[in-house]
Structure 1
Amino acid sequence: MKRSRPTIMLAIVGGMASGCASPSIERVTFPPTDKASLVTTDQLLTGAVLQGRVEGLSCQKGPFDKLPSQDDATDRMREEAASIGATGIYHVRYLKGGISLSPHCWQSVTAVGIAYRMEK
C-alpha cells in the first residue's frame, strides 16, 4: 500500500515536534545551604550546575487571611532551593492566581525559578 506524501510529511513533522518539547531538568541535590545567601539572576552564570525547578506558593486561605504576596512566594521558593543545596536561582517568574474554586486557596501568587549551584 502506497502512502501519500502529505501523510508521510505529517508523520515526520509530528515526530519532530514531539521531540522539541522542552526537556525537564533532573533534580540534583547537594547539602543544604543558607537561604539568606542565595542570589537570583536573570542570566545563567558560566559554570553553574542546574539543579531543577523550584517554586514557592503564597496563598490566601480564607476571606480574613492576608493577601498573597510575591515576597512570601519568593521566600518559600528560596527555602526549597536552599534545601537542595542551591547557591542561586535563575529566571524567576511570578504567576498570579485569581479567585480559586479550591477550598484551600482563594487567591495565590507562585514564584517559579531554576535552582543552580556554583562550585567554589
Structure 2
Amino acid sequence: MLPPEPGNVYGDSAFTGGPAERLIISRGGRPRTMCTGIWGRGPDALARLEANNAAVRRVHCRIEKVFGTWKRSYGLRRMRWLGLAKAGLQVRLAAIAYNLRRTVTLLHAAAA
C-alpha cells in the first residue's frame, strides 16, 4: 500500500527488481534497498554502493531491532508452523505487547 506521493520507500532486498520496484517507480517513489553488488569497477562504484547502503542502514537497523525483539521475546519463531490466520493474529498480539512494553519504558524515562 503506497501513498499518492511515496518519496523514499525502504524495503528488504526481496523488493529489488520485479513488480514491487516498478510500482514504486511508477508512483514517483524511489525504492531504497540494501545493495550487495555493483555495476562497474573502481572506487567510484564502491563509494556509491557504500553511500546507498549507509542511508538505508539507518532505517533498516531500527526496523530489524523491532522484528528481532518480536522473534526473540514474543515467540515469532514458531510462525512457520501456524496457519495464515493464526500467524496474523500472533503478529498483531506481538505488536500490541511490544508497544505496551515500550510505552511503559518511555513513561518511566519521562518521569525520571
TM-score of the alignment, normalized to the shorter chain, above 0.5: no
Q: As a proportion of its length, which structure holds more helix?
A: 2
Whose relative contact order is higher, 1 or 2, with alpha carbons under 8 Å and at least 6 apart? 1
| TM-score, with structure 1 as normaliser | 0.30
Q: As a proportion of its length, which structure holds more strand?
A: 1
Which of these two proteins has the greater Rg computed from alpha carbons? 1
